[in-house]
């Protein structure tokens, strides 16, 4: 349990904070010859713009002639968070060493143990010296935040190259494009700070956190070729109710996923097995996605539980030539990046398969499917709140 | 494991005897049939030291050797110990063991020839019996004399805390940190294998106790902030809370369940070949059709390359310290459990508590200061 006010930046849904429905991640680099002082001055300016925007002030709507008055917009429509990528440290904008695990993703080599790059993805897609996560309840609010950053960079001649933006949204049905419930088996609210907040190694990030971002493209067509049974075996839940599977029975050459019984008087989504699927002892179920993502089932304060707090947003880039390009902006926060790398790297966790299932498949079990590929990704340090901007200590 | 059957039998009897000395919770002493496998797994790098001192300093100290002060004996406390062997300052070989010293003491008593054979293999040359048993002909000694001689030279016992070459400079034989003994694991198990709940008023609910809460209430069994003890405690308590009977998978020991070779990269960015990893000292039974190993060796098998040419995915750099490789190794205790609701559940309520960093770091800084003075 963490006591006292949190210094975590906005946009992370710990108790007392309102989750937002829309997401935008903006990545940027500093121009080639930028000095550390100039980089930090730019960060102060960008932070100032976003702080004013959050308060309802837009630079273009300030009074400019006698008789004018400032025209405010609705306040508190966005949250913003500033992060520092691996290249901020390797390019020398700070004398501090990069924290453990804060590295550039391999390219063109496979960036994680089991998720390859999508075709055509360029190096450093999803990475930057800095990132800004904008979240809000309306798409236009987060979009406006990105545009205001662009205006600030242009109008003040800041030495910043905005690389790209990635957008996404939360669904109101708590399901993903796969059709299954997603994000329900997450760290419960009282435990989030303990799992997210950096303990002070390095000291400049004490009270801050680390963010991992993976823009995962989903092969929806390939997924839909699987039967419902096969999908349930890979995910580990009943497709309709969302109830976790207790076992997979084998009979007559068929697999029959068996969910935990539903308590009749309680809403499905509030049942213990739904929210925190217990260990089953069934080898097929234990290899499913939801179990691979949390093999230890220990509490968030137990280090080797490798608990990460997930706060992802779906995306649809579009449908072109009859093919949808869609997937998940996987976003996780964790006290140490070691946990992220362990979850994605351990063979019995998500390092051994692209999504779920057993490596040695039995009769009737779904075939090995490369369900996800990576369109962009990066890991970032998210320092605690500070004046004039989070991470200002890196500039000292 | 090709150790003599008489030793394996004696080991199981010894484990059972040690378990019998504890006031075992019902879950461990019930005669219910236990068939389901549970693997309690953690990374081999010492987390408590890292969290108390900072990662960079901790990793450096874990590899330090110098006179009477030994990083391995001081800080490798996750039931796994390693050596990063260097040549010309470059890392060339990484070895790790999870073999309990208690087992090796039995081996020394009952099968001295096997001890010599194994240590010779570890050292890569014929071992000198005098540096193991303090006698050139161990069969001339009594079992007790062999055990005691082995304890002094290989395990640093008897107050001298100086390790002979066959568990240090010449070979990595078995665990030797004082926490990495059978008694420590069993007392932790006995303390944790009972259901523990927290009545958490802040959350207006009852919930299973976390690992750190269990250790805080356990009266000295185990250490918080470690990777191993809190996880073992929490998993066992939860299983007990489900009314499951439990027994350790025989033969008892800590197994190496794998190493994340996907995170050890060639200069071009591809993972290293799996053939560069050698697992040995198999325990003789299997977990989910996988052998249970207790010894690991990582060495580059490519002319002109050594470990210093590789890169770790998580740092982008060559491994500098053994802990960076130990972090990629998973070690585990294997437990067999019964169905749920086989054992009556008598729940103990413990107080909710955050992780008490001050408590679990107490003494680390003082030990470290002494260590750093000794090696400077």
Note the pLDDT tens digit of each residue in B143-174: 999 999 999 999 988 665 566 789 988 899 99
Residue B87: is it exposed, middle or buried by C-beta count within 10 angstroms (0-12/13-18/19+)?
exposed
Q: Return the residue in B56, B225, B228, B260 with the most chain A beta carbons within 10 A, the one to mutate for interface testing.
A: B260
Q: Which residue has the tokens 């290899």?
A: A287
pLDDT of residue B207: 85
Which chain B residues have a beta carbon less than 8 Å from that of A345?
260, 262-263, 313, 328
Distance CA A161, CA A34 (A): 11
Q: Return the residue in B263, B353, B364 with the most chain A beta carbons within 10 A, the one to mutate for interface testing.
A: B263
Dihedrals phi, psi of A350, to nearest 5 degrees: -95, 5
pLDDT of residue B33: 84
Q: How many CA atoms does the CB half-sphere of B127 hold within 13 Å?
A: 32
With residues binned 3-state (H G I as helix, E B as strand, rest as coil), the percentages for chain A, rounded to 5, are: 25, 25, 50
Peptide bond preceding A204 in cis form (omega within 30 of 0): no
- One digit per residue, the tens of pLDDT, for chain A of length 396 reads 455 789 999 999 998 888 899 999 999 999 999 999 999 999 999 999 999 999 998 888 888 888 888 888 888 889 999 999 999 999 999 999 999 999 999 999 889 989 999 999 999 999 999 999 999 999 999 999 999 999 999 999 999 999 999 999 999 898 999 999 988 888 888 889 989 999 988 999 999 999 999 999 999 999 999 999 999 999 999 999 999 999 999 988 789 999 998 888 777 777 878 888 888 989 999 999 999 998 888 999 899 999 999 999 999 999 999 999 999 999 999 999 999 999 999 999 999 999 999 988 888 899 888 999 999 999 999 999 999 999 999 997
What contacts B124, CB < 8 A, 6 or more positions away? none
Helix/strand/coil for B46: coil
Distance CA A343, CA A348 (A): 9
What contacts B24, CB < 8 A, 6 or more positions away? B190, B193
Q: Which two tokens stand for residue B292?
A: 């249970």
Which chain B residues have a beta carbon less than 8 Å from that of A301?
210-212, 230, 354-355
What does the pLDDT look like over B12-61, one tens digit per residue?
A: 999 988 887 766 666 666 667 888 999 999 999 999 999 999 999 999 99
> Rg of the Cα trace of chain B?
21
CB contact under 8 A, B230 and A304: yes
Reported ipTM exceeds the 0.90 cut: yes
Q: Which of B:104-123 have CB within 8 Å of A?
A: none
The pLDDT of B179-207, averaged and rounded, is: 83
The neighbouring-strand residues paired with B248 are: B335
Q: What is the DSSP string of B1-47?
A: --S-HHHHHHHHHHHHHHHHHS---HHHH------EEEEEEEESS-H
CB contact under 8 A, B313 and A106: yes
Distance CA B196, CA B214 (A): 7
What does the pLDDT look like over B84-134, one tens digit per residue?
A: 999 999 999 999 999 999 999 999 999 999 999 999 999 999 999 999 999
Distance CA B192, CA B183 (A): 14
The count of other CB atoms within 10 Å of the CB of residue A288 is: 27
Residue A177 contacts residue A314 (beta carbons within 8 Å): yes
What does the pLDDT look like over B335-351, one tens digit per residue?
A: 999 999 998 888 888 88
Q: Which two tokens stand for residue A168?
A: 């996404």
B135 close contact with A: CB closer than 8 A: no
Q: At what angle do helices B182-192 and B228-241 cross, to 10 degrees?
A: 40
For chains A and B, CB pairs below 8 A equal: 119
Helix/strand/coil for B364: helix
The count of other CB atoms within 10 Å of the CB of residue B280 is: 16
- Claim: this prediction has a pTM higher than 0.80: yes
Residues in chain A, total: 396
Sign of the dihedral through C-alpha B302, B307, B310, B312: positive
Distance CA B192, CA B189 (A): 5
Distance CA B198, CA B193 (A): 16
């Amino acid at each position: 349990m963490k006591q006292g006010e949190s210094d975590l930046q906005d946009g992370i849904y710990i108790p007392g904070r309102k989750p937002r429905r829309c997401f935008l991640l903006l990545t940027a680099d500093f121009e080639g010859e930028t000095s550390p002082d100039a980089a930090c001055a730019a960060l102060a300016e960008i932070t100032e713009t976003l702080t004013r925007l959050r308060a309802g002030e837009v630079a273009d709507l300030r009074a400019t002639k006698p008789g004018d008055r400032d025209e405010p917009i609705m306040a508190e429509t966005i949250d913003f968070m500033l992060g520092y990528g691996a290249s901020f440290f390797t390019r020398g904008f700070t004398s501090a060493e990069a924290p453990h695990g804060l590295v550039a993703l391999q390219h063109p080599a496979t960036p994680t143990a089991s998720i390859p790059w999508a075709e055509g993805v360029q190096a450093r897609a999803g990475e930057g010296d800095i990132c800004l996560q904008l979240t809000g309840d309306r798409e236009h609010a987060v979009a406006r935040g990105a545009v205001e950053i662009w205006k600030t960079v242009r109008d003040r001649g800041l030495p910043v190259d905005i690389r790209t933006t990635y957008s996404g949204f939360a669904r109101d049905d708590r399901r993903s494009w796969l059709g299954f419930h997603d994000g329900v088996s997450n760290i419960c609210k009282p435990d989030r700070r303990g799992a997210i907040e950096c303990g002070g190694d390095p000291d400049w990030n004490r009270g801050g956190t680390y963010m991992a971002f993976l823009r995962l493209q989903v092969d929806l067509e390939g997924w839909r070729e699987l039967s419902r049974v096969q999908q349930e075996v890979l995910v580990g839940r009943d497709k309709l109710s969302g109830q976790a599977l207790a076992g997979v029975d084998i009979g007559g050459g068929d697999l029959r996923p068996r969910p935990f019984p539903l308590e009749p008087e309680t809403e499905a989504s509030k049942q213990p097995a739904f929210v925190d699927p217990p260990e089953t002892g069934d080898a097929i179920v234990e290899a499913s996605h939801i179990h691979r993502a949390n093999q230890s089932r220990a509490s968030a304060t137990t280090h080797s539980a490798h608990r990460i707090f997930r706060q992802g947003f779906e995306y649809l880039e579009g449908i072109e030539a009859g093919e949808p390009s869609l997937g998940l902006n996987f976003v996780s926060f964790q006290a140490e990046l070691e946990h992220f790398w362990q979850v994605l790297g351990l063979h019995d966790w998500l390092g051994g398969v692209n999504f779920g299932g057993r490596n040695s498949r039995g009769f009737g079990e779904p075939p090995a499917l490369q369900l996800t590929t990576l369109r962009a990704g990066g890991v970032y340090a998210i320092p605690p709140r500070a004046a004039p901007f989070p991470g200002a200590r890196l500039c000292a | 494991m090709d150790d003599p059957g008489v030793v394996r039998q004696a080991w199981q009897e010894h484990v059972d005897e040690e378990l019998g000395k504890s006031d075992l919770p019902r879950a461990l002493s019930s005669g219910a049939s236990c068939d389901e496998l549970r693997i309690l797994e953690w990374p081999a790098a010492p987390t408590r030291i890292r969290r108390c001192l900072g990662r960079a300093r901790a990793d450096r100290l874990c590899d330090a050797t110098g006179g009477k002060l030994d990083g391995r004996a001081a800080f490798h406390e996750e039931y796994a110990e390693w050596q990063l062997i260097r040549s010309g300052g470059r890392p060339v070989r990484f070895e790790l063991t999870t073999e309990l010293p208690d087992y090796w003491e039995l081996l020394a008593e009952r099968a001295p020839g096997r001890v010599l054979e194994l240590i010779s293999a570890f050292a890569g040359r014929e071992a000198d019996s005098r540096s193991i048993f303090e006698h050139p002909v161990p069969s001339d000694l009594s079992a007790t004399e062999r055990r005691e001689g082995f304890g002094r030279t290989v395990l640093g016992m008897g107050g001298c805390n100086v390790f002979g070459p066959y568990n240090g400079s010449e070979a990595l034989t078995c665990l030797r940190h004082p926490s990495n003994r059978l008694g420590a694991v069993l007392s932790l198990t006995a303390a944790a294998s009972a259901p523990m709940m927290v009545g958490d008023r802040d959350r207006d609910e009852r919930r299973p106790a976390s690992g750190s809460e269990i250790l805080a209430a356990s009266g000295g069994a185990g250490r918080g902030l470690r990777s191993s003890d809190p996880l073992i405690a929490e998993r066992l308590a939860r299983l007990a809370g489900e009314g499951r009977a439990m027994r350790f998978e025989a033969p008892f020991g800590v197994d190496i369940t794998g190493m994340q070779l996907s995170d050890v990269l060639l200069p071009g960015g591809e993972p290293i070949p799996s053939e560069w990893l050698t697992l040995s000292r198999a325990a003789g039974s299997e977990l989910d059709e996988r052998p249970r190993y207790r010894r690991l060796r990582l060495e580059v098998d490519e002319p002109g390359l050594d470990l210093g040419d590789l890169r770790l995915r998580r740092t982008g750099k060559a491994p500098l310290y053994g802990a960076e490789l130990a972090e990629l190794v998973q070690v585990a205790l294997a437990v067999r459990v019964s169905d749920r609701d086989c054992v009556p559940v008598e729940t103990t309520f413990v107080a909710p508590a955050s992780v008490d960093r001050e408590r679990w770091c107490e003494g680390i800084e003082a030990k470290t200061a002494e260590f750093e003075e000794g090696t400077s």
